[in-house]
A and B are shown apart, each in its own frame.
Chain A
Amino acid sequence: MNTTSIMIVGVGGQGSLLASRVLGNLLVNEGYDVKVSEVHGMSQRGGSVVTYVRFGDKVASPIIEDGEADFIISFEKLEAARWAKCLKKDGKIIVNTQEIDPMPVITGAAVYPHDILDEITAQGAFVDGLDALSLANEAGSSKAVNIVLMGRLAKYFHIEYDKWIAQIEQLVAPKFVELNKKAFALGFNA
């Protein structure tokens, strides 16, 4: 079945919800069957969070498993590594290279593996890392990391730039539209 699978991963509270809404609505407007799956509740409290977006002619499973993701969009470096097991051999990882220490690292029980993405690249994975936090700040708010990453995804995607922008205009509060359009452009062109 010709289903495309995208994972959006990060740390609870980073704003992956807006990213999945932009993407989901965009794909529905393009006429695809779409499923977007997320888990609410306890994991949102600073834990590892994952959203699955799948689209095609007819999508069955709402979730993405090992070796099935065409794209992994990660809001944080360690989370990209955690979910790399789900990436297809020819899939792409787009990752905000920001590091957020999980509690075991903060307490000293574990060490943050700073070079972990190199290990995945060495195995042949396509990893596109960018400092989305700086770009978001450049656009006007650290909260725009999600839209910077959507801009980056658009670069690899078959849907026209203007359609993404139209979706952002629809979903974002009017006073933040310009900021988010700038964030999207910065991600796209980075």
Chain B
Amino acid sequence: MKKLMIGNEAVARGIYEAGVKVVSSYPGTPSTEITEFSAKYDEMHCEWAPNEKVAMEAAFGASLAGVRSACAMKHVGLNVAADPLFTLSYTGVNGGLLICVADDPGMHSSQNEQDSRHYAIAAKVPMLEPADSAESLFFAKTAFDISEEFDTPVILRMCTRIAHSQSIVELGEREEKTRIAYEKKAGKNIMMPANAKLRHPIVEERTQKLVAFAEDCPFNKVEMGGTELGIITSGTCYQYVKEIFGNSVSVLKLGLVNPLPVKLITEFAAKVNRLVVIEELDGIIETHCKNLGLACEGKDLFTPLGEYSQKSIAKVFGLEEKTGFAPASAIPVRPPVMCAGCPHRGLFYTLSKNKVTVMGDIGCYTLGAQKPLDALDAVLCMGASVSGLHGFNKALGNDEMKTCAVIGDSTFMHSGITGLVNIAYNDSHSLVIILDNSITGMTGHQQNPTTGYNIKGDPAAKIDLEALCRAVGIKRVRVVDPYDLKACDTAIKEELAADEPSVIISRRPCVLLKSVKAKPPVKIDKDKCRSCKMCMKIGCPAISMVDGKAHIDATLCVGCGVCEQLCAFGAIE
């Protein structure tokens, strides 16, 4: 059966067809759908883990127990899971283990554009990179055979364009696997120095075997098209090369991007007059070619920044540039915005008004950095708001500046808790505000341990955030409704003044949740409106000025009432 699928759905299908039993992941664009689609197959246990490290370790445990298992994460999630990854390389697997990681060249939805291939090299594990959905299915499915044959975890590297592009796949059947019996193997699975010393040479031998495999595997292919120009490429860049050149140049397409073949590349290079490596982000294949003593071009022609396209590659080769139509007038940019009625808005407005220095975190609420709210001072990575705030306050002394951290419920579960433990244990008078909107918002509404539901939507154990914060040693824990500006203001002022650590839980569900019913839109009394623009200070997309008076877009407004509280003249009701 033929079906149009995004790359991530095809990966899920490959995981399913390979007979996988356990999938554990943490959401992150552009990897999230791998696990969401996996969860549609009842034959597998699928779950959202609190973070990527936990997810990978759960997959490790399942593999050890003798079933095929997988985990999925975005590129920065692999940083979090790097600890288990490096030693998983030493232990190897029992049942096949696949680690899916999705890179985001161009940073459509990420804080950096690191190249995950470095991890495969550093951890000495094989990495596959598909170039469309059919390959995503095939590579994911076949990865488990490689994993079991070579006794290694396998990484599948996706990138935004492959993960989120639909193309046609041919569906196969699921092959149920008999569980491989678990046997205690201390030397293989207990990674203490004496054992690990004996495992490392096995890893090195495995790499040599994988190089031999890379010379003649179904993932790497040569498409000859003359001897003038030879291009070595992989993933989405392969598609751009084919778009520009069709079959008129020779292409070595690498699907196994670690380890890289030697003979295959050397022989290909010998057949062409000019050798060019085209790879997004870092020049990893290029460096390999140069290490082999081959003359090739790569990052001297192509940028290490952002995404490529048929246009950017054609330009490098001096091909004619196509143009469309360009109006002379300036086109205002349209950046993403916090939704009308977003519960984060009222809280950010209050922080901004009180001139608080705010350590931000990763989620929808990162949008609080934008004008007019302009509420954030720093955003680094998941959890860094809480731990960073502690260091900031230790450097300043406790009362020199008004500071706080803001972190979402899911991000707090991911890696905020440990930072809060540090605040309590090492006693900084820090204020942490947990923005509890009862869902993982930015990645498209995934359940998490605070929501009371699991990935299937079934009821699950629900973390009591107040009790958790108290349990780690925070005595001052209070809850506010972010729609209530006065309550927010009081809470923030009082907790900033406190001589001990404190937590405010700003609690109201995401306005996009189906369970949240919108109130009727507010109305402007034009006679009462004095055009003071106070209501514009919250950056609500439903409010604009029309003919000098405030105007509400009734299709967007959900009646949250935050603007109403700002109007001193009672013009909004």
The chain A residues found within 8 Å of chain B, CB to CB, are 1, 11-12, 24-25, 28, 33-48, 59-63, 65-69, 78-79, 81-82, 84-89, 91, 101-113, 116, 119-120, 123-125, 142
Chain A residues with CB under 8 A of B544: 101, 105-106
Interface centre among A61, A81, A109, by most chain B C-beta atoms within 10 angstroms, is A61
Q: A36-B4, A65-B311 are in contact. Are A107 and B168 (CB under 8 A)?
A: no
Contact indicator A67/B541 (Cβ below 8 Å): no
> Across the interface, do A11 and B443 meet the contact criterion of CB distance under 8 Å?
no
B324 at interface (Cβ–Cβ under 8 A)? yes
Q: Are A69 and B324 in contact (CB under 8 A)?
A: yes
Residue in B4, B29, B323, B371 whose CB lies within 8 Å of A107: B371
Decide yes or no whether B186 CB sits under 8 A from chain A: no
| Cβ contacts A to B, 28 pairs, < 8 Å | A11-B334, A12-B336, A24-B4, A34-B166, A36-B165, A37-B165, A41-B29, A41-B442, A42-B108, A42-B367, A43-B336, A46-B336, A60-B243, A63-B310, A85-B326, A102-B332, A104-B335, A105-B332, A107-B539, A109-B371, A113-B329, A113-B331, A119-B328, A120-B327, A123-B325, A123-B326, A124-B325, A142-B555
State A175–B239 Cα separation when bound (angstroms): 40
- Shortest B554–chain A CB gap in Å is 11
A45-B364, A61-B309, A89-B324 known, 11 other contacts, Cβ within 8 Å = A28-B4, A35-B165, A40-B30, A41-B30, A43-B108, A46-B338, A47-B336, A61-B310, A62-B167, A65-B322, A125-B325
Residue of A nearest to B441 (CB): A45
Known: A34-B4, A34-B166, A85-B323. A110 touches B332 (CB 8 A): yes
Q: How far is the CB of B158 from chain A (nearest CB, A)?
A: 13
Q: How distant is B461 from chain A, measured CB to nearest CB, in Å? A: 29
Say yes or no: is B109 at the interface (Cβ < 8 Å to chain A): yes
Contact size class for B? 35 or more
Contact digits for B289-313, partner A, Cβ 8 Å, 1 yes 0 no = 0000000000000000000011100
A101 to B, closest residue via Cβ: B544
Tell me whether A24 and B164 are in contact (CB under 8 A).
no
Residues in A neighbouring B165, C-beta threshold 8 A: 35-38, 62
Chain B residues near A (Cβ < 8 Å): 2, 4, 29-30, 32-33, 108-109, 132, 160-161, 164-168, 236, 239-240, 242-243, 246, 309-311, 321-339, 364, 367, 370-372, 442-444, 536, 539, 541, 543-545, 555
B513 CB, nearest partner CB in chain A, Å: 14
A178 to B539, CA, bound (A): 38
Which residue from B2, B444, B541 sits with its C-beta under 8 Å from A106? B541
CA separation between A48 and B132, bound complex, in Å? 25
Contact of A45 among B108, B236, B332, B339 (CB under 8 A): B339
Is B168 a contact of A34 with CB atoms below 8 Å? yes
Tell me the bound Cα distance from A104 to B536 in angstroms.
12
Among A61, A78, A103, A111, which residue has its beta carbon within 8 angstroms of that of B239? A61
Using A45-B364, A107-B371 as known contacts, say yes or no to A84 and B326 having CB atoms under 8 A apart: yes
The answer to whether A81 and B331 have CB atoms under 8 Å apart is: yes
CB proximity of A175 to chain B, nearest CB, Å? 16
> How distant is the Cα of A38 from the Cα of B9 in the complex, in angstroms?
14
